[in-house]
Amino acid sequence: MAERKPDPSEGRAAARLGLLASLDTGELRALDETLEFRQQIAAHHMILEEGCRVSSPSIIVSGWACRTRIFLDGRRQILSLLVPGDLIGVCRQSDPIAATGAVALTDVILCPAPKPEHPGRGLSEAYARSGALEEFYLFRQIARLGRMSAYERIADLFLEIGERLSAVTHGPRDHFPFPLTQETMADLLGLTSVHVNRMLQLFRRQELIEVRSGTVHIRDLGALVNLVEHRCAIVSGA
Amino acid sequence: MAERKPDPSEGRAAARLGLLASLDTGELRALDETLEFRQQIAAHHMILEEGCRVSSPSIIVSGWACRTRIFLDGRRQILSLLVPGDLIGVCRQSDPIAATGAVALTDVILCPAPKPEHPGRGLSEAYARSGALEEFYLFRQIARLGRMSAYERIADLFLEIGERLSAVTHGPRDHFPFPLTQETMADLLGLTSVHVNRMLQLFRRQELIEVRSGTVHIRDLGALVNLVEHRCAIVSGA
DNA sequence: CGACAAGTTGATGTTACTCAAAAGTGGTGG
DNA sequence: CCACCACTTTTGAGTAACATCAACTTGTCG
């Protein structure tokens, strides 16, 4: 749809599916070929309209997006974050209606997700695992919003993003691009941008996290993990 | 596993699947027969341990349960509520690990969910729709926790429960059994029980909602819907 | 250079939490 | 039938976390 500059890392995102299940050569080729049909979406544009039929499932090749819910009085909550390698619009039922809208947070490149051929393995299994992972992060988001302080929410978010990005890029977990504004972080974490700003300053003063010009640098990953896991670590129980 | 008293309404919950997709006679019979293998779980007992292999998917026939996450320092967040007719432990991938623990909030009767025979329709479709519905309520829970006041959260929760229960029982949406303690509500809504108590008193004084002896009576459904929809109604957008 | 978005700061207000104790409720056994 | 227990609900007073409002600064890009 739009002009594009080549980007060598684009193959990575689609390759993520290969990390989730073992794909045969036919499926790998299908993933490769699907890159031909990529589509660019400008920042702030809708990817998916809430309540509409889902057109076709896609893979985020590059850029960040999110699922949002907007209240009538203007409040906005970001329900989940979508980063390269994530799927969007994959529905398992036959009558797919989007439960939430999705918006591009940066410029995003999507490519269509190939139809799985063998039920129960290969691509089909990869999509299922991807869905399970998405659900896992929804649970994490609920625990974050319900029972963590602003300070903890931010720490936990950065740890999650570090994990998710490094799983795709094989880069470090403590140093990664972060294109969200503080306003966007606030909408994701159920806070105000002013408060996010103050907490980020606190992290900086403590030399735990450095956020600058679109990049997060976790200075002391161990301390941060302790901080979150120590009190928040996720344990089931009665 | 345990002694049981007969309960004529038990068939209802399993029948909910019939509301989600059209089932053939074989599938209906399978649902009926599965009631023979029901299993009782006492209140406060674990149904599913986090991180363990999921044994077998089940349908909640009666009683209420929830998915929980417990923090190391004792904080607890209820991630989602499970009411009669809901499925638990249904996984679409081949390697099912429970992402969250599940706990019985009241005595619960479970029965095994029959294996679907025809992919893409019948029971299989009903399970997929049930999963999509569950995801929908997760999104709603996120929006509630992230951007609603305590007062709004409670109103929204009662509306949700009214919807979900009446879909199964065909009973009224404004009058239903509600076996949760205020403490449990607090864990579900990310509040303290003291604050839940104060908000419930406010609703009572305003003659909007009456909660007594395990029953919720919404006195003014229209006003409550307005209150929530007016400001919170769920609309997508950039 | 000018304009616009993003980040920063301070003062003030409100929501919801904390702690602690009292009062109500239901079930159990003597 | 009553006394007792554990649990839940209710109440009050004080406090902390986060929101709000409004201005100011910094950065970015044409």
Higher-confidence position of A54 and B43: B43
Q: Is A173 in contact with A221 (CB distance < 8 Å)? A: yes
pTM (predicted TM-score): 0.93
B100 shares contact with chain A (CB less than 8 Å): yes
Reduce the DSSP state of residue A28 to 3 states and report it.
helix
Q: Which residues pair with B127 in a beta bridge?
A: none
What is d(CA A43, CA A171) in angstroms, rounded to the nearest whole number? 24
Select, from the ranges A48-57, B45-54, B214-223, the one with the highest average predicted confidence (pLDDT).
Answer: B214-223
Q: Structure tokens of A58?
A: 């896609």
Question: Which nucleotide is closest to A213, CA to C1'?
Answer: D27
Q: What is the rounded average pLDDT of the residues B110-132?
A: 89
For residue B157, the model assigns a pLDDT of: 98
Q: Residue A223 in contact with residue A208, Cβ under 8 Å?
A: yes
What is the spatial distance, in angstroms and rounded to an integer, between the CA atom of B60 and the C1' atom of C5?
51
| pLDDT for A8 | 52
**Nearest residue to C25 (CA, C1')?**
B213
pLDDT band with cut points at 50, 70 and 90 for residue A229: confident
| Model pLDDT, residue A27 | 92
Asked if residue B192 lies in contact with residue B184, where contact means CB atoms within 8 angstroms, the answer is: no
A95-151 pLDDT, tens digit per residue, is 677 888 899 999 999 999 999 888 878 899 999 999 999 999 999 999 999 999 999
Strand partners, B211: B216
Give tens-digit pLDDT for B68-106. Answer: 999 999 999 999 999 999 999 888 777 677 888 899 999
Instruction: List CB contacts of B43: < 8 A, sequence separation 6 or more.
Output: B63, B104, B105, B106, B107, B108
Strand D reaches within 7 A of the A202 CB: no
As a rounded value in angstroms, the CA-to-C1' distance for A173 and D13 is: 46
Contact B147 A71 (CB under 8 A): yes
Residues 116-145 of A with CB under 8 A from B: 119-121, 125, 128-129, 131-132, 135-136, 138-139, 141-143, 145
Structural tokens at position B194: 């003291």
Query: Over the stretch A38-49, which tens digit does the pLDDT of each residue have?
Result: 999 999 999 988
A84 contacts A105 by C-beta, under 8 angstroms: no
Which residue of A lies nearest to B123 if distances are taken between CA atoms?
Answer: A93
Contact predicate A71/B231, CB 8 Å = yes
Q: Scanning every residue of chain B, which has its alpha carbon at the shortest distance from the alpha carbon of A146?
A: B190
Give residue B7's pLDDT. Answer: 53
Q: What gap in Å lies between CA A138 and CA B102, rounded to an integer?
A: 16
Percent of chain A with pLDDT over 70: 91
Mean pLDDT of chain B: 89
Per-residue DSSP letter, A43: T
